[in-house]
Amino acid sequence: MNSIAENLNEIKSSIPKEIKLIAVSKTYPPETIMEAYNAGHHIFGENKVQELVAKYEALPKDIEWHLIGHLQTNKVKYVAPFISLIHSIDSFKLLQEVNKQAQKNSRIIDCLLQIYIAKEETKFGFSFEESTDLLSSSQLKELKNIRIVGLMGMATNTDNTEQIKNEFKSLSEFYKKLQTLNLKLEFLSMGMSSDYKIAIAEGSNTIRVGSAIFGKRNYH
Ligand SMILES: *Cc1c(COP(=O)(O)O)cnc(C)c1O
């Protein structure tokens, strides 16, 4: 088995260097994260607020933390002081709460809209139409302490690579369409361990990779 440093090296050398790599450290203990940190990787993603806050407190303060999982409005206050990027904005109500907590912390918090592209019932997110409406709404302009800087999507969990490719392609085309509407988006967050190569081929510039770096995860 490769070390974490070797896995990181292998992934980084196989992707264009302008791709942003989020090392998804959910379920792995702080010591494991430190192996990646000591290998020079300082960008990590977590999907649960409680776990994220505990790790933020335990680990070096120059880590850039990303929240990639569903965020409940009543938990925004715990991450607002330090979060770098929230990938998982899935309602306007959540965005309003992020804005409110950002204001309390005198911060501007960068956010991605999570877009629903998978053929699965359980995935959170906006449809293309809902997100277009949101991005062009006057209500959004009132939220001065958040910035929408891109989109995030997850493909269906399937072995059908053609389907995964088509789902990523649809999000990538939507992202490009928004650019032509002069919405200055920087991040297209799509791709995980199993599908990041397909995602990059379809235009992703931000990948969220966990098990390919840290090894198999133990869910309990
Ligand atoms: C867990 C997770 C990932 C990473 O998954 P791996 O298969 O371990 O690479 C990426 N994105 C989200 C939203 C996740 O919850």
Residue 60 tokens read as 């070096």
So what's the pLDDT on residue 124?
84
In the reported structure, the alpha carbon of residue 45 is separated from the centroid of ligand 1 by a whole-number distance in angstroms of: 9
**What distance in angstroms lies between residue 208's CA and the mean position of ligand 1's atoms?**
6
| Tokens matching residue 46 | 């977590």
d(CA 199, CA 202): 5
Distance (angstroms) between ligand 1 centre and the Cα of 219 equals 13
Look up tokens 């910035």; give the residue.
147
CB proximity list for 163: less than 8 A, separation 6 or greater: 119, 155, 156
Q: What pLDDT score does 183 carry?
A: 82
pTM: 0.96
Ligand 1 centroid to 97 CA: how many Å? Answer: 25
Concatenated DSSP letters for 128-165?
HHHHHHHHT-HHHHT-TTEEEEEEEE---SSS-HHHHH
Fill in the DSSP letter of residue 111. E
192 pocket-lining for ligand 1 (C-beta < 6 Å): yes
**For ligand 1, atom 6: residue with the closest CA:** 210
Over its length of 220 residues, how does the chain's per-residue pLDDT go in tens digits?
789 999 999 999 999 999 999 999 999 999 999 999 999 999 999 999 999 999 999 999 999 999 999 999 999 999 999 999 999 999 999 999 999 999 999 999 999 999 999 887 666 899 999 999 999 999 999 999 999 999 999 999 999 999 999 999 999 999 999 998 878 899 999 999 999 999 999 999 999 999 999 998 876 4
Q: Whose CA is nearest to atom 12 of ligand 1?
A: 68
Helical H runs in 66-210? Answer: 76-79, 92-104, 128-135, 138-141, 161-180, 196-201
* Element of type H or E holding 24: strand 20-24
Ligand 1 pocket, 125 CB below 6 A?
no
